[in-house]
Structure 1
Amino acid sequence: MHVSPAVFLAITMVSSCAGVVLNFPVNRANRLRATFKSFQPRQRPYRPHASTREVKELKPTPEQPAVSRRDIKLTNFNNNMVYGTIAVGTPGQELNIVFDTGPGPMWILSSHGRTHLNWENHRKYNNDSSSTYRNKHKSFAMKYDFGILGGYIGQDCVAVAGLTVENQQFGEAVVVDLDMLAKTDIDGIVGLGFRNMTRGVETNLLDNMVSQGLLPAPVFSFYLSREEEEEDGHGSTLTLGGANPDFFRGNFKFANLTAPDRWQFKMDRVQLPNGADTFGESGCEAEVVSTSSAILGPYTDVYYLNTKLGAKQILAPGPYMYEFDCSKVDWLPDVEFILNGEKLALSSKDYVIKMEKDGTIVCYSAFKGRIAYEESEEKLWTLGQVFMRGFYTYFDKGNHRIGFAKARR
């Protein structure tokens, strides 16, 4: 896995805080509200396009297929972020979207914003160009580890994976301070998690698709490919409404969720082969976050794990990072995640991150330490894209569980 240091460090910051709404300073919040208050769009009569009536009253047409799972091909951005394309409005306006397992809402860049610093190359949604747009007359604001954004809530048709979702609400971002995302091709985020922190966006895209009969169940699955597989045409894929057997082998190992609002579950421990060394014992918790590139764990556990693997802690390019001798990485052991007594073995092909530095390749560990600021984080592991490349991941909202199967290579 070969990425640039700047992107790896920036995307790692997303981690478990992606999609989490926090209260930022009052003065800054007031300035944010004042800035986008004047951007509220005009209200136009709602004119549903013809397919709305066809889908509800007639048999499915070729444009609106029968209920089944649907695949979305994803683009790999520097092996640290994956995104797909959707179309919003009538006629559809194409946007590049990150599909986030976090609990945040759907939001997209608005063409009505005047403060998109360094976002000139991004595509932006223009509600004036859509005949099916509705203004909900509500504002929203989000805070991430890497910045803030704000705007108002709109409603429109969203085309995804060949299906048209009616009455989908989303945040239209008119004030954006996300310098890290400005360096990508991303035009917005779609939250696929639970609706606990949506800041007034009342409809979740996945739930909306199920309620409108477009998907059989509130389920989605991720296959994340490695860099060399992208070149061979076996690209990353998000499957809505089920799992695609082309991307995994064997049976799923399931775990019930232990939190009401995130993809968190109980994990027995992390260990090296045969349990010679164990980390995070006594029933640690783990969560899967698709917008995190690394695997974050309790600082002490990660320190001892990396030490046993032969990695050395370094101060640059970032805190709590560890470096391997690149000549030895092919012989590193698997790291095993024990789930209900069963092993999920992650190979060094996935947990060693190769970066170019001063003309040479440097090998970093994908295991990064986290300092716990809350009691709930003391035993928490965040399993990001590095973990998801090793394991096809099945997110089952209806049954409140998550499943893992070995990714097919």
Structure 2
Amino acid sequence: MNLPTSAALILAVISICAANPISIPVASQAKVPFWRGNNVPQKLRTFGPPLKPLQQPSKQPILPLRRFHDKEPNEPLHHLYGRHMFPLNHFYQFPWERFRQENQEFIGRDQINIRARDIRLTNYYDNLYYGLITIGTPEQEFNVTFNTGSPTTWVPSVHSPFDANSRHVNLKYNNASSTSYIADGRPFETYYSQDKVAGHNSRDTIWIAGLVITNQVFGEAIKESDLFEGTMNDGVFGLGFSDDIPSLFDVMTSAGLFPAPVFSFYLSPYDTDPSGSILTLGGTNPYCYTGDFIFVDLSVPDSWQFKMDRVQLSNGTGIFNGWGCQAVVDSSTSHIVGPMEEVDALNRKLGGIPIPGDPTMYELDCSEVYSLPDVEFIVNGHKLSLKSRDYVVTANRGLETLCYSGIVGSQWKEYETPVWILGLSFMRAYYTQFDKGNHRIGFAKPATYNYALANK
């Protein structure tokens, strides 16, 4: 079963039919496309200030999608106000990386040291994670998401007229300002569900995780969909399987910069540490996980896809896709997406009520959240369990807090085998290793990560 090679980024908005409706964004860059009949709009709306001016101080409440917070059963959820809650990722790299221009000899020595490299990521309300790369000479900084669903790396071009995202006004790549720029000119386009990003390829020097890659191909985006309106990322760093042009990660691996063709994600929840997530290139970080990995071989050679035995509830009330199914781990899908009929049956077992006008989303009783069963994904006979805190999300309507299932339905009509997308909510619950060399994915229990201790 071949899945499309392009990724999908959908900022979906579900409006509830009520006096004061609420928008619930569900982000996805999954390789499996969303079906048009799923009522998935293409733009993100919030009730509160628009997303574009979030860098300006605001007294209006911001109503983001939040993961359910279970520190104390009777503790009220904390709601976010103003600019200070929106972290910017300019100094989250290793300290020596910030001074590389002043100490080229030190960086040269460090690059010879072949080891796995950590990139610190910022969590944007559990909906996406982004980290810093720089392109050109002198360096131009970009915050990018790291997408396992696509091999393409791109940033917005200064020649793009797209200014819907206010962050892109000043964070566009200007090849005329870079002395290391080399023209390429080949067109590129990457599809994001029903929209696409298009432009031309260029070559320049790219810095990432303290490593420099010269003459590297990447995309200069001239045409961007308004899917990116209001998002915190300036572009995308592709970690998917390459087709015609090798991905940046593949180039770095082939150049011998890493000990193994492996990368791993440690994703911390926003409530715990919004700037404590780690992407490790070239291996795993032993500070980020405990115990042994559960490995599963890929079932499709050009996708992070594998066979899953079934999905079930820990209280024994439901088994879903008991005859087997496929799963894709996707770092750019915010929650979990599954086949429509199975998701409907699962959410009804959880007491979920379909949201009027959109049968893919389900409202849950907040008073019952702590008693909900685990959702178990059975892989190679092992249980990978999500607790209610992992799959329940909340939103506000005035002073009222509403709870929703983060397991949403979709339908891929062109595929015979059911497909589940295990997004960020799943990856927060399990440290995830993507092993290109052995064509497998590994899952381990995440540790409580101490960045300062790990980088002594």
Using the size of structure 1 for normalisation, the TM-score is 0.82
The 8 Å contact of residues 12 and 26 in structure 2, kept in 1 or not, is answered as no
Distance 1:84 1:147, change over 3 A: same
What is the CA deviation profile of residues 342-393 of structure 1, one whole-angstrom value per residue up to 9, with x for unaligned ones? 11111111100111223321111011111222124x4111100011110111
Percent identity of equivalent pairs: 45
Write the distance in 1 (CA, Å) between the matches of 2:139 and 2:409.
43
Residue 210 of structure 1 aligns with an amino acid whose one-letter code is T
**Offset at 1:121?**
2.5
413, 425, 433: which one pairs with 1:386? 425
**Offset at 1:292?**
0.6
Write the distance in 1 (CA, Å) between the matches of 2:316 and 2:400.
35
Q: Which residue of 2 aligns with 1:188?
A: 235
Q: Mapping of 1:2-401 within 5 angstroms?
A: 9-17=24-32, 61-62=108-109, 64-113=111-160, 115-122=161-168, 123-145=171-193, 147-177=195-225, 179-196=226-243, 202-230=245-273, 235-273=276-314, 275-315=316-356, 318-376=358-416, 378-401=417-440
Write the distance in 2 (CA, Å) between the matches of 1:276 and 1:17.
28
Write the distance in 2 (CA, Å) between the matches of 1:384 and 1:266.
16
Q: Which has the higher helix share?
A: 1
Distance 1:120 1:59, change over 3 A: closer
**Offset at 1:274?**
6.2
Write the distance in 2 (CA, Å) between the matches of 1:130 and 1:393.
36
Query: 2:229 is paired with a residue of what secondary structure?
Result: helix
Residue 162 of structure 2 aligns with an amino acid whose one-letter code is H
How many residues are treated as equivalent by the alignment? 361
**Offset at 1:14?**
3.3
**Offset at 1:310?**
1.5
Query: 1:386 is paired with a residue of what secondary structure?
Result: helix
Point out where structure 1 has 5 or more consecutive residues left out of the alignment.
19-50
Q: What CA RMSD, in Å, does the superposition of the two structures yield over aligned residues?
A: 2.5
Distance 1:5 1:350, change over 3 A: farther
The 8 Å contact of residues 4 and 78 in structure 1, kept in 2 or not, is answered as no
Q: Which residue of 1 aligns with 2:80?
A: none
**Offset at 1:17?**
4.5
Write the distance in 2 (CA, Å) between the matches of 1:60 and 1:15.
36
Q: Which residue of 2 aligns with 1:30?
A: none
Query: 2:272 is paired with a residue of what secondary structure?
Result: helix
What is the CA deviation profile of residues 109-136 of structure 1, one whole-angstrom value per residue up to 9, with x for unaligned ones? 01122x2131342211111111111111
**Offset at 1:15?**
3.2
Distance 1:395 1:333, change over 3 A: same
**Offset at 1:59?**
10
Query: 1:15 is paired with a residue of what secondary structure?
Result: coil
Distance 1:180 1:356, change over 3 A: farther
Q: Which residue of 2 aligns with 1:28?
A: none
Residue 295 of structure 2 aligns with an amino acid whose one-letter code is F
**Offset at 1:90?**
1.3
Residue 224 of structure 1 aligns with an amino acid whose one-letter code is L
Residue 228 of structure 2 aligns with an amino acid whose one-letter code is L
Using the size of structure 2 for normalisation, the TM-score is 0.74
The 8 Å contact of residues 330 and 348 in structure 1, kept in 2 or not, is answered as yes
Query: 2:187 is paired with a residue of what secondary structure?
Result: strand
Residue 208 of structure 2 aligns with an amino acid whose one-letter code is V
Write the distance in 1 (CA, Å) between the matches of 2:376 and 2:344.
16
Query: 2:292 is paired with a residue of what secondary structure?
Result: strand
What is the CA deviation profile of residues 199-249 of structure 1, one whole-angstrom value per residue up to 9, with x for unaligned ones? x6x231111111222111111001111122115x6x111111111121211
Write the distance in 2 (CA, Å) between the matches of 1:333 and 1:65.
50
Residue 167 of structure 2 aligns with an amino acid whose one-letter code is N
What is the CA deviation profile of residues 132-185 of structure 1, one whole-angstrom value per residue up to 9, with x for unaligned ones? 1111121112221263221110011110011111221111011222x2312112
Distance 1:361 1:4, change over 3 A: farther
Write the distance in 2 (CA, Å) between the matches of 1:340 and 1:176.
40
Higher deviation after alignment, 273-282 or 364-373 = 273-282
Write the distance in 2 (CA, Å) between the matches of 1:402 and 1:273.
24
Q: Which residue of 2 aligns with 1:34?
A: none
Distance 1:8 1:134, change over 3 A: farther
Query: 2:306 is paired with a residue of what secondary structure?
Result: strand
Write the distance in 2 (CA, Å) between the matches of 1:366 and 1:211.
38
Query: 1:136 is paired with a residue of what secondary structure?
Result: strand
Q: Which residue of 1 aligns with 2:57?
A: none
Write the distance in 1 (CA, Å) between the matches of 2:205 and 2:247.
13
Write the distance in 2 (CA, Å) between the matches of 1:60 and 1:379.
48
Distance 1:9 1:16, change over 3 A: farther
Distance 1:15 1:360, change over 3 A: farther
